[in-house]
């Protein structure tokens, strides 16, 4: 339910405060949400963290598509959105392999160390995405 709510809420917010700002907020939210799994010690904590994380887990994709459409040259919206879709599928295909590798290096499926390492790795990736947005220039900044 939180995923559905987040996919409506965050893109709507991005219409008012801007795509880049919303992507940065969602990235920090993701980092906190995924990183919090490291500290979870009960089933209630896992469920609560999952609900918290669910608010942004898929919410960024409509914002990425909107930002891409906003930034694409006239007549190139489909191509630009195709690049986002390709990136999504590549990431979705490679992420499980990478996460499985990290879990394996941390002791395998029966060891919490690998899971904790993977949670912190994903949190770091989310923060790296935020950092990329800090250095990303908007179309107005480039033209101005």
Question: Which pLDDT tens digit goes with each residue over 69-106?
Answer: 988 899 999 999 999 899 888 988 898 999 999 999 99
Q: How many domains does the chain have?
A: 1
The residue range of the domain holding 48 is 2-143
Mean pLDDT within 111-137: 91
What string of DSSP letters covers the chain?
A: -HHHHHHHHHHHHHHHH-HHHHHHHHHHHHHHHHHHGGG--SHHHHHHHHHHHHHHHTTHHHHHHHHHHHHSPTT-HHHHHHHHHHHHHHHHHHHHHHHHHHHHHTT-TT-HHHHHHHHHHHHHHHHHHHHHHHTPPPHHHHH-
pLDDT, tens digit (0-9, with 9 covering 90-100), for 9-50:
999 999 999 999 999 999 999 999 999 999 998 999 999 999
pTM reported for the whole predicted model: 0.86
CATH number at residue 23: 1.20.1250.20
């Amino acid at each position: 339910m939180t995923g559905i709510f987040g996919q409506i809420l965050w893109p709507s917010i991005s219409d008012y405060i801007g795509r880049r700002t919303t992507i940065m907020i969602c990235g920090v939210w993701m980092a906190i949400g995924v990183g919090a799994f490291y500290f979870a010690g009960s089933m209630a904590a896992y469920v609560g963290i999952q609900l918290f994380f669910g608010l942004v887990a898929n919410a960024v994709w409509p914002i990425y598509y909107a930002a891409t459409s906003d930034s694409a040259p006239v007549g190139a919206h489909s191509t630009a959105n195709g690049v986002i879709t390709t990136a999504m599928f590549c990431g979705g295909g490679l992420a499980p392999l990478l996460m499985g590798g990290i879990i394996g290096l941390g002791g395998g499926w029966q060891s919490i160390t690998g899971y904790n390492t993977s949670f912190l790795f994903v949190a770091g990736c989310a923060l790296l995405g935020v950092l990329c947005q800090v250095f990303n220039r908007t179309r107005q900044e480039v033209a101005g």
